[in-house]
Structure 1
Amino acid sequence: MTENNKTDEKSGVAGFMQRAKQQAREKTSETTVTESAPFKAFEQTAESVAKNTMTEGQLFDTADALADYRLSDVNVTDTTCGHCAVGCRFDLYTKDGEVLGARPTDPEKAPVNGISTCVKGKFTYSYVDDEDRLTEPLVKENGEFREASWDEALDRVVEGLGDIIDEYGPDALGLIASSKATNEDNYVMQRFAREVLGTNNIDNCNRLCHAATVEGLAATLGFGAASTGLEALEETDCYLLTGSNITEAHPVFATRVKQNVAEGAELIVFDPRKIQAAEYADQFTRVEPGYDTTWINGMIRYIIEEDLHDEKFIEERVDGFEKVKESVQQFTPEFVEKKAGVPPEELKSAAETIANADSCMFGWALGLAEHTHGTDNIYAIANLALITGHVGDSKSGLAPFRGQNNVQGGGGDMGPLPNNFPGYQSATDDENRAKFADYWDMDIEDMPDEEGYRLTEMFLAADDGDLKGMFVQGENPTVSEPNIDHAQKVLEDLEFLAVQDIFLTRTAEHADVVLPATSTVESNGTYTSSSRHVQLVKRAIEPKGNTKPDWAITKALAQRFGYEWEYETASDIMNEISDLTPIYGGVSHERLENGEELQWPVWDEDHPGTPYLYDEKFLTDEGDELAHMHVAEGIDPAELPDEQFPLVMTTGRVLYQYHTGTLTFREEGLTEGYTGESFVEIHPDTAAEYGVSEGEYVTLTSRHGTAEMKAAVTERPSPGEVFTPMHYFKGGANNLTKEEPLDPPSKTAEYKVTNVQLTAEGQPEGERTPSEIETERDEPTVTTDD
């Protein structure tokens, strides 16, 4: 153990978890490297972790340690993971308010993951007791924070929001809900926006990731969610994965895919980078970033031209086939190769495999959605599934892999959206408005009747002087919004900003009031997974300090505005959700506690849930029970390389970090080595052209900003393309991305294609302390009464 890694030895389970984390760090540092040091060390460790999610013999077997420990001395809580949206469930072991570790629960209680967990779900709990946890409300005076009572802090928020309403009207406010918070938290937040404040200006981080998926699938099929269940993930005959680095972003899903591929399923991967999943693929095809609609349309054209489409399925269940058939005529194999870089023989091979398969699952993540024509990309992949008849059965369908732990439920289903009530019921439809107004005992005239601003539109509206204040719950837009400089300026110039979170994030630093919330292990409620499983989250330890659940804070604010809500528990809120939200009509905490596996739609209390969608009918707004194909027209990305900015930068996740790093940067074992700072992957040919060496610091400059980061020389990207993770503030990708233009239907920004220039700094590896680069910052001053 190095001097920097020495810690006080703990005993029992806590000691075991400490030693296991140390083993993880040592495994990474001891890996033999033959290529890019950061890349190779990471890849081999990621592969080890992925393999060990498959069996009881996991890398660090918490079960054995706990078997040697007196279980009577620890508390065991079965709960749902608070990281990604796979929806893993496990037992959380705690003692005296400390989280000791996670262990797979009874597989019957964990329908999505069984006995599997990934490294984050297993180990990442140091944040709960981090010395920077917010435990008291903060108010800012003369540019400095001081601790305050709840009464003072809540009064300040009500005053700040109320003053803006009085002077400018409710639509001068913007609310950002949290996809990490529970369904119940998010339902209450959207009610607060509409009933108490009187605005539809509420959105969440779904806008930055899968909003195009929701728009495209809802318009084509009916619901903005996965049509598949777990059977397709585990037993389909064919996978098309695109824009999804599944082994790093969703490793437990990746385990299921790799197991099925080992048993004979075919795996096709289309991606700009040679991601790890490509190593298991029957076919891997590199594509040019930003040209997904092009190659998918080319595949559709080929299938139709060769009479490989499912004519019976199309005739009986699909509308719009002829207009799509006509629209794809320009996407010849030659055109696709010129634009998207896909060789004709690879296009044909993939098309024939998909069309001839008995079943096929189409999986994607942000690589397909985060574009200025992201909705067109979703139209295209939905069209491909429809013309091959691979929708509406247990082993086929469309499967977007969602990001945040509750972005499916809290980010969409619960209605923290500018255009939808809970359950994707239009917020501008008079019948829906009347239903919610009546239930909430409010005058329908007071219910907002126009769509509100989407998330990035809020920042643009603030730029124009139309938005004066924000209330942000559990999100960190200073890091996640495109063009960090622009986002920071907007927050600095607001007349009032309130932030509700568990840490003083970079967004909270700009706030006038900060309200301390409970973390996932201190909360009760539900999360909804990518597969539409609604699952219980249970409080494993008591809330730290003077923190409160998000919904309870929102209720207290509503009370100060004169609204008496009768919720006493999260279960009470779910009962209201089920009354108002048809797809959650039969969901209750009681059913979930009794062990029922519920995937929405759950139409009533006797309904068993829906493992896969559209077996009998599609549910689009047209009401004709048909799927409605839409022409996908987008071709070129919003900006193209030129002499000044000749390289194309794309972005994504890495295994050991998550989103803006609020939680994972605080886990020592996840920030050792290069994962503690931003880096850029560069192809050896590009590195040679620019004179860049492995581990050297380089500067990337775009039309929108600049960032310095470490170089990882690897063949993952193509020559002329570079990759940068999305998680970092210093040197991170969003210093370079742009806030305009937006995808017209979804209002999602173009994260996946940014043109950059590269400058070698000439600073060799070893002259910095990488694990401190991201975390070091000018901390705001906080005064206390002590």
Structure 2
Amino acid sequence: MLQIAINGQLHRFQERLTILDALRFVKIEIPTLCYDERMKPLGGCRLCIVKANGSPHPVIACSTQISDGMVIETHTHEIEQLRRSLLQLLAHRYPADFVREFPDKEFHRLIRAYGLEEECTGKTSPELIDESNPYIRVDMSQCIYCYRCVRICEEMQGQFVWKIWNRGDAVRILPDSETNLRESSCVSCGACVDTCPTGALEDKSVLSLGAASNWTRTTCAYCGTGCEMNVGTREGQIVVIRPVQDAPVSRGHLCSKGRYAFDFVHAQDRVTHPMIRVNGSWQPASWDEAISFAAGALGRIVARHGSASVGVLGSARATNEENYLAQKFARTVLETNNVDCCARVCHAPTAAAMKLMLGAGAATNSFDDIERARTILICGANPTENHPILGARIKQAALNGTRLIVIDPRKIELTRYAALHLQLRPGMNIPLLNAIACAILEEDIQDEEFLNERVSQFQEFRHFIQEWTPERAALLCGVEARKIREAAHIYAREKPAMCIHGLGVTEHIQGTEGVMCLVNLALLTGNIGKPGTGINPLRGQNNVQGAAHMGCDPGTLTGSIPIKEGSDLFATVWQRPIPTQQGLNLLEMMDAAEEGHFKALWAIGYDIFLTNADAHATRRALSRLELVIVQDMFMNETAKEFGSIFLPAASSFEKTGTFMNAERRIQRVRKAIEPVGGSRPDWEIICDLARAMGKGDLFSFRSPEEIWNEIRSVWKAGAGINYERMEYGGLQWPCPAEDHPGTQILHKTTFSTGTQAALRLVDYKVPEESADDEYPFILNTGRTLYQFNAGTMTARTPNSLLCGGDFLDISTQDAQRLELFESELVRVRSRYGEAVLPIRITDSVAPGELFASFHTPHVFLNFLTGPHRDKFVDTPEYKLTAVRIERYSGL
């Protein structure tokens, strides 16, 4: 510990603190303008000067480290006069109007504090205003050249948008396009706005709606990263969202969706009152009428066809508490295990593979291990577009020396920073991953100590894998054997090595086995159970991890406990027997509906018609149902064509509860505004319907916290996570007791299945889809940066101005051969259907391959995808469809 004197008072501090750190620790404020704790200190503005050790020259507090015995004075007359002089230099060209209009800006507060309002004599220059970005207004009349925008874009986002042009009096800060923000490489994350101390960069929503009068800390409702944010409201409306500085996941950062895409809450087409379809048309109804209608219809169908004929779908957009109630409703009110959620069509293969091999179907490590890893293997994931905050952290790690291996059919942004890009053919994950394993053993670079202590069936695996030489795999996957061996060497030798994977692994007919192959690599090299290692799936939606973990799965109860194993405990807590008949998953429900055996479906926050693969089969199945209850914010495609009852749900901004992110972290969701119109939180709707069906005693909850406490009583691994402990930053399970700190890394000494994990022998199966003369292209599908899944939320925000409808990526070579031009509409046909969308000519896809997004209903891309499914969990094959391209004539 170091002892220093500050303004005559002795204090003790840890080493390696700066003077500014020490001052803030003892709550002594000094002015700063170029400082932001998310960036490296610059010391450019010099306002944080202090007197140290009696020296006649002041020192800069933000970049000077404390030393033992240091004597610091912070507000001497001389220091204050120097600060005032520095501020005068900045004030003389600054417009006074902005100081009065936005008094809470950092710079404006200092201007007033030092009595410099009259010094502000600058004028606004129209040529310095840029309105091109739908969210951000640029007015460089207010720029004081602190360079915070430049630095945060480099050091946090890694985008390098803002550039310093010229020198001296001619210096200017402009985007890299040298024109406007819209034409630059800006990704609209808003970090530059967040750090700007003056308003040179400002959110347009604040300018149009006014500054926020209330703030609420909550968790983002988009991807599974789990970023925390402060929601600013004014007169019951959201006006701005800012990042939470001390959030453990997002670390004071947000992406364009989390920060800006909130206008859907007040969208004109939001449905805010219940509706019942009568004689083919929707009619408004009261809540009592809608609940009574739904209860009566469900009761009649169960009485006539049995409990096996009905099912419930939980929602990745709903809270943990609400998904818990959804599966409890299915099992206690409807008395069926027919309950599922959208994890079925994305990461069910991950959960199955990791549960089978390691004993827990969730990420082994934390996001903080990104900065601890020496190597990061990214397989079938595109983090900078689909999980932008994690993508930015990975990008920064690469810029600081971490070695990236990217396995992807496309050239994604992170391939620019990668030591190695293995650009395999779609559907060839198994041959490639097996070949990496083979190369590890050929070069004898496996972790023998780890294998001896913690891995079984190694000799069987060695015998099997020796046939998967890099040369054999190269012929199938199109990646040079030399590169496969190089990847093996980096992953096995440059440790710790972390594996991050996404839907490019799971949404295949061998999705579960693809994840098994990744686990094999981690076990072979000892890259598991340690900091900077592990198998870490990037979950697609905000609470898809939680939805499945809460029991929205036909085979498991809350905590991913098999029904047979957990039925006694749950029956005791619920005071109802647990159904024993095997339940149907989502795809099995569709099959049974088409066959006429399944009659009613309650879909909560899930547009299954638009998002399921093989939309023709989904349409046939849904059309045969007698009852479809849709619970959502908008009249989605499922509701439009098949809905019987529409129950309007509240958004995450309008309720409380918890979400579970991809690293097993459970975080608070807090109500920032009242529910719009007559919409209600999902948990209230479920409880109302249970009461209407005579089971109100099981659903007598008065708050989400009461629901959560029941969850803790049936889920031992979450028993220690109460609402109070989740107040700031949340906790990661397992956390079995209230004095337990939570678990950052799983499998440190043992696996949930025992002391050893078994390697799996995974052979390659030829894909059901392949290119031929009639269908010469292979189509891959996925999300984009600015739109999210079915576009239910983002398509109702200005994000649509940044990226409108869906598009089809085609290589330059193929476009030239087919004489197609940029943005031309084409008809894409598969063996199952067709879609029309514009092309985008790019070198990110290889010749013979295509990539399309799937966000817009008018394109309805899933009329192209087929019926093929993973044999373990029924996850559809979204990533590989044989297609052809035709010119579109408009007919």
Q: What TM-score, normalized by structure 2, do the two folds share?
A: 0.78
**1:588 counterpart = 2:722:** yes
- Which residue in the other structure is 1:775 paired with? none
- Which residue in the other structure is 1:172 paired with? 309
**1:749 counterpart = 2:876:** yes
Q: Which runs of 5+ in 2 are unaligned?
A: 1-99, 106-129, 140-160, 163-179
- Which residue in the other structure is 2:269 paired with? 132
C-alpha displacement of 1:168: 0.9
- Which residue in the other structure is 2:685 paired with? 553
For residues 404 and 255 of structure 1, what CA distance do their matches in structure 2 show?
18
Alignment of 1:428-467 (within 5 A): 429=564, 431-442=565-576, 444=577, 447-467=578-598
- Which residue in the other structure is 2:332 paired with? 195
For residues 293 and 55 of structure 1, what CA distance do their matches in structure 2 show?
44
Give the SS at the match of 2:296: helix
Alignment of 1:625-704 (within 5 A): 625-667=755-797, 669-672=798-801, 675-704=803-832
- Which residue in the other structure is 1:771 paired with? none
Task: Deviation per CA, 1:321-345: give whole Å up to 9, x if none.
Answer: 2222222222112211110011011
Alignment of 1:301-700 (within 5 A): 301-410=438-547, 412-427=548-563, 429=564, 431-442=565-576, 444=577, 447-509=578-640, 510-563=642-695, 564=697, 565-593=699-727, 595=728, 597-620=730-753, 624-667=754-797, 669-672=798-801, 675-700=803-828
For residues 349 and 268 of structure 1, what CA distance do their matches in structure 2 show?
10
For residues 663 and 183 of structure 2, what CA distance do their matches in structure 1 show?
29
Contact 1:521 1:539 (8 Å CA) reproduced? yes
Contact 2:435 2:468 (8 Å CA) reproduced? yes
Contact 2:555 2:582 (8 Å CA) reproduced? yes
For residues 155 and 23 of structure 1, what CA distance do their matches in structure 2 show?
44
For residues 357 and 387 of structure 1, what CA distance do their matches in structure 2 show?
14
Task: Deviation per CA, 1:634-691: give whole Å up to 9, x if none.
Answer: 3422221111111100011100000100001101x21126x32221000011112222
Cα 1:526–1:62 shift into 2, 3 Å: farther
Cα 1:707–1:741 shift into 2, 3 Å: same
Give the letter for the 1:637 counterpart: P
For residues 656 and 338 of structure 1, what CA distance do their matches in structure 2 show?
36
For residues 732 and 641 of structure 1, what CA distance do their matches in structure 2 show?
22
Cα 1:69–1:416 shift into 2, 3 Å: closer
Contact 1:207 1:454 (8 Å CA) reproduced? yes
C-alpha displacement of 1:732: 3.7
- Which residue in the other structure is 1:99 paired with? 238
CA RMSD of aligned residues (A): 2.8
Cα 1:746–1:45 shift into 2, 3 Å: farther
- Which residue in the other structure is 2:228 paired with? 89
Contact 2:657 2:670 (8 Å CA) reproduced? yes
For residues 258 and 615 of structure 1, what CA distance do their matches in structure 2 show?
27
- Which residue in the other structure is 1:761 paired with? 888
Contact 1:183 1:406 (8 Å CA) reproduced? yes
Give the SS at the match of 1:731: coil
Task: Deviation per CA, 1:358-405: give whole Å up to 9, x if none.
Answer: 201101110000001101100001100110100001111111100010
For residues 549 and 673 of structure 2, what CA distance do their matches in structure 1 show?
28
Give the letter for the 2:722 counterpart: S
> Highest CA radius of gyration, 1 or 2?
2
Contact 1:137 1:514 (8 Å CA) reproduced? yes
Task: Deviation per CA, 1:106-163: give whole Å up to 9, x if none.
Answer: 31xx110011100000111111111111111000111111110111100111111111
C-alpha displacement of 1:63: 8.7
Contact 1:599 1:611 (8 Å CA) reproduced? yes
Task: Deviation per CA, 1:215-252: give whole Å up to 9, x if none.
Answer: 11111111111101133112210011111111100110
For residues 242 and 456 of structure 1, what CA distance do their matches in structure 2 show?
26
Contact 1:365 1:401 (8 Å CA) reproduced? yes
**1:718 counterpart = 2:884:** no
Contact 1:62 1:101 (8 Å CA) reproduced? no
For residues 420 and 741 of structure 2, what CA distance do their matches in structure 1 show?
38
Cα 1:382–1:148 shift into 2, 3 Å: same
Cα 1:426–1:256 shift into 2, 3 Å: same
Give the SS at the match of 1:235: coil
For residues 326 and 728 of structure 1, what CA distance do their matches in structure 2 show?
48
Contact 1:227 1:614 (8 Å CA) reproduced? yes
Cα 1:598–1:703 shift into 2, 3 Å: same
Cα 1:281–1:726 shift into 2, 3 Å: same
- Which residue in the other structure is 1:163 paired with? 300
C-alpha displacement of 1:434: 1.8
Give the letter for the 2:750 counterpart: K
Q: Which runs of 5+ in 1 are unaligned?
A: 1-10, 32-40, 769-786
Give the SS at the match of 2:544: coil
Task: Deviation per CA, 1:20-55: give whole Å up to 9, x if none.
Answer: 95256999xx99xxxxxxxxx999866644695898
Q: What TM-score, normalized by structure 1, do the two folds share?
A: 0.88
- Which residue in the other structure is 2:9 paired with? none
For residues 323 and 284 of structure 1, what CA distance do their matches in structure 2 show?
30
For residues 314 and 273 of structure 1, what CA distance do their matches in structure 2 show?
34
Give the letter for the 2:771 counterpart: P
For residues 746 and 131 of structure 2, what CA distance do their matches in structure 1 show?
45
Contact 2:807 2:837 (8 Å CA) reproduced? yes
Contact 2:131 2:137 (8 Å CA) reproduced? no
- Which residue in the other structure is 1:22 paired with? 134
For residues 686 and 202 of structure 2, what CA distance do their matches in structure 1 show?
38
Give the letter for the 2:658 counterpart: T
C-alpha displacement of 1:288: 0.4
Give the SS at the match of 2:241: strand
- Which residue in the other structure is 1:773 paired with? none
For residues 230 and 202 of structure 2, what CA distance do their matches in structure 1 show?
11
**1:250 counterpart = 2:387:** yes
Point out the more displaced range, 530-539 or 57-66: 57-66
For residues 292 and 616 of structure 2, what CA distance do their matches in structure 1 show?
31
C-alpha displacement of 1:553: 0.5
Give the letter for the 1:151 counterpart: D
Cα 1:648–1:583 shift into 2, 3 Å: same
Contact 2:790 2:856 (8 Å CA) reproduced? yes
Give the letter for the 1:607 counterpart: H
Contact 2:781 2:853 (8 Å CA) reproduced? yes
Task: Deviation per CA, 1:458-513: give whole Å up to 9, x if none.
Answer: 11111111111100000001111002222223222211111111111111122111
Contact 1:55 1:115 (8 Å CA) reproduced? no
Cα 1:171–1:185 shift into 2, 3 Å: same
C-alpha displacement of 1:19: 6.5
For residues 24 and 70 of structure 1, what CA distance do their matches in structure 2 show?
15
Alignment of 1:178-217 (within 5 A): 178-217=315-354
Q: 2:370 aligns with which of 227, 230, 233?
A: 233
- Which residue in the other structure is 1:781 paired with? none
